[in-house]
Structure 1
């Protein structure tokens, strides 16, 4: 690992990454294996018709949501762990304080967003997904150069409910009471965690950037600053899209009617779920 460590610390400048490199690699490889092997196998076994009857591109989207759900289940508790046990020196120095717990959480996040960015490019569907993946990867990777980024707040709490909502669409439960209840949790989590709490974190982060702007390279200031603005903007954009999508699903008598084949049974009147 000596040559690799030298490349990472000297060439890339990620001086804090080497102790967390195994975590990063296991994260990337683990999510890749789930995407390519475990998710397709489990989906064919448990949802033979809902998964097996859709085109390959749609099957890939299904597997992506499986990976996303596993990441959400892992990263939310890890983020809360890092935040709860944050040492006093880290809390007192937002710019340069360091905590190994943050390193582990960011290593897992970097592995996931490397996988996410590669998939968003290879299986391109929307430029927003590419921008989001690359921005998150850049911000969390650069935390191994500077300690500026805070521990990732539990953003993925809303992702957990978003994936459930998506799978309900694909298994014939669009417009159901269960999806309505899940939609309430989804919007509440997204608004409370990503927009309100995340907005506060973003404002504090920008203030810290401005305070230490003369002590950090301008590249850090640009990447962290622009990345923060881009991610915050995407969150507000996606929130409006979620509200519109939920309105379409639960607007009585106005939803488009669709016939679905779920596990060999024809289901009608499930709205406009994608």
Structure 2
């Protein structure tokens, strides 16, 4: 909860107030590095290292989906320190805008507030933020990432892939490979100081894009599971709630034993007491005592 609020606040501040980031062109988005962006990615990266350890150690609890998410998130955010696509760090960290509502849902379950009006309101907030932040915002910016990488590929900026794959760019074409130094723009001297003259290896681009695809697929899968869980709480036609089965409780009738005492007198003058009793399970018990 605290971590998600912290990184979301930092990401929004960077996106609105970091002028170095806002001035980046496509080359700056790929190779550029900004101190505020590095600070944000260090906070996110620290959390995802812990998340990766927990999902690996407790894979029987979290499952392979959460492990794939942790691996992909670490890949995406730590590539920013190369630097590579550092620009998109705050963009994709905004996936975490849905995390506070998810944490509140868990807390309400633990506080015996399951099914309350408060959990219903929180559920609406959770689904809304998840849909817009992860599915809409995330998908749009994933397309923008692919566009920037494609621009680099078209300009010979992606090089070094194995010849057997037939996807080698820049080195064996007539144009020279694009490097950060060959793409200057106003204010780029400081932003590009860590990039040097390196080109963009194809394995790096493919690793990042593959991780991005995995994260997006997981988001769509989890959203479908959330809708499925929500529909189970409502009646048809919108929901899939089944009518509750009436349980017929079998009550065992317990009868108090009936005891009857009879007194008599024999012909010889002796007294007699006759006791008879009945119970629900055993047959009637009859005993006689002479006195």
Q: TM-score, normalised by structure 2?
A: 0.61
Q: What does residue 2 of structure 2 align with? A: 70
How many corresponding residue pairs?
189
Partner of 1:216: 200
Report the counterpart of residue 227 of structure 1 in structure 2: 211
Q: Could you say which structure has the larger radius of gyration?
A: 2
Once residues 140 and 76 of structure 2 are traced to their aligned partners in structure 1, the CA distance between those partners, rounded to angstroms, is 17
Larger helix proportion of the pair: 1
Which has more strand, going by share of residues? Answer: 2
1:246-274 C-alpha deviation (Å, 9 max, x unpaired): 222344964879xxxxxxxxxxxxxxxxx
* Per-residue deviation, 1:152: 2.7
Q: In 2 relative to 1, CA 76–186 (structure 1 residues): closer, same or farther, beyond 3 Å?
A: same
Stretch moving more, 82-91 or 197-206: 82-91
Match of 2:15 in 1: 83
- Long gaps (5+) in structure 2: 159-198, 246-291
Three-state SS of the structure 1 residue aligned to 2:24 is: helix
Q: 1:129-148, aligned counterparts within 5 Å?
A: 129-148=66-85
Q: What is the CA–CA distance in structure 1 between the aligned matches of 2:115 and 2:231, rounded to whole Å?
A: 10
Query: What is the rounded CA distance, in whole Å, between the counterparts of 2:18 and 2:130 in structure 1?
Result: 24
Q: What is the CA–CA distance in structure 1 between the aligned matches of 2:108 and 2:35, rounded to whole Å?
A: 38
Give the CA deviation at 1:178.
Answer: 0.6
Determine if contact 2:20/2:34 at 8 Å carries over to the other structure.
Answer: no
Partners of 2:85 and 2:244 in 1: CA distance: 48
**What is the aligned partner in structure 2 of residue 151 from structure 1?**
89
Q: Deviations over 1:131-158 (max 9, x none)?
A: 1011101111111012314123321111
- C-alpha contact 1:110 1:137 (8 A) present in aligned 2: yes
The worse-fitting range, judged by mean Cα deviation, of 79-88 and 186-195 is 79-88
Alpha-carbon offset, residue 198 of structure 1? 1.2
2:20 and 2:43 map into 1 onto residues whose CA distance is 23
Deviations 1:172-230 (A, max 9, x none): 22211111111111111011111111111111011111222324112211211100100
Check whether the contact 1:209–1:225 (CA below 8 A) recurs between aligned residues.
Answer: no
- Partner SS for 1:94: helix
**Stretches of structure 1 lacking an aligned partner (at least 5 in a row):** 1-68, 258-274
Write out per-residue CA displacement over residues 83-105 of structure 1, whole angstroms, 9 at most, x where no aligned residue: 11232465323222221111000
Instruction: Tell me the residue number matched to 2:57.
Output: 122
Counterpart CA distance in 2 for 1:256 and 1:114 is 44
How many Å separate the matches in 2 of 1:146 and 1:109? 16
Whether 1:200 and 2:140 are equivalent positions in the alignment is yes
Post-superposition offset of 1:113: 0.2
Query: Of 159, 167, 184, which residue of structure 1 is paired with 2:107?
Result: 167
CA contact (8 A) 2:80 2:89 kept: no
CA RMSD of aligned residues (A): 2.0
Contact 2:45/2:78 (<8 A) preserved: yes
Asked whether 1:182 is paired with 2:166, we answer no
> Secondary structure of 2:18's match?
coil
User: Which structure exhibits the higher relative contact order, with contacts defined as CA atoms closer than 8 Å and separated by 6 or more residues?
Assistant: 1
Equivalent residues of 1:83, 1:151 under 8 A apart? no
Name segments (4+ residues, structure 1) moved above 6 Å. none
Once residues 243 and 107 of structure 2 are traced to their aligned partners in structure 1, the CA distance between those partners, rounded to angstroms, is 19
Q: Secondary structure at the match of 2:200?
A: coil
